[in-house]
Amino acid sequence: MVKMLVRDIASPDRRDPLFPFLRCFDKYAGHSWASGDANFADGNNQESSSESLNAWYGLILWGAATGDAALRDTGLFLFNTERTAVEEYWFDVSGSNFPKDFPNVALGMLWGGKGAFAPGSRATSTASTASTGCPSRPPRSTWAATRAT
């Protein structure tokens, strides 16, 4: 059953007859999309990058625990690629993505055609930033450690 769940969110097999290859992960954008086929004027969206990072971290752990090196490596690729996208698109760590006059320290929601500070119905800065940073267990600790170096 766990293998089916893994394949559902991130099948590593391009020939999988039941599930699409890396379902919601956009290798060109470097992160996942939450809403499928861009049925919005601003394109696809991703509000909770923390959910994706935790999913990819789970793939790393499951692959390691079961001796599945290919799954572990898929998880490592997804986690590290998405982590880099989060650093740049949500937090602009290089200082090259947000407009010069952008008043906030982070985006709450990334769209294909824009970035928004307050995701969904959460209009406060704390809730907006928290949806990107929580849950904050090992994936965020790993992410924070890489930013400190």
CB 103 within 8 A of CB 116: no
C-alpha 61 chain-centroid distance: 17
- For 70-110, what is each residue's pLDDT tens digit? 999 999 999 999 999 999 998 899 999 888 898 888 888 88
What pTM value is reported for the model?
A: 0.81
User: What ranges do the domains of the chain cover?
Assistant: 2-148
Using the 8-state DSSP alphabet, how is residue 46 labeled?
Answer: E
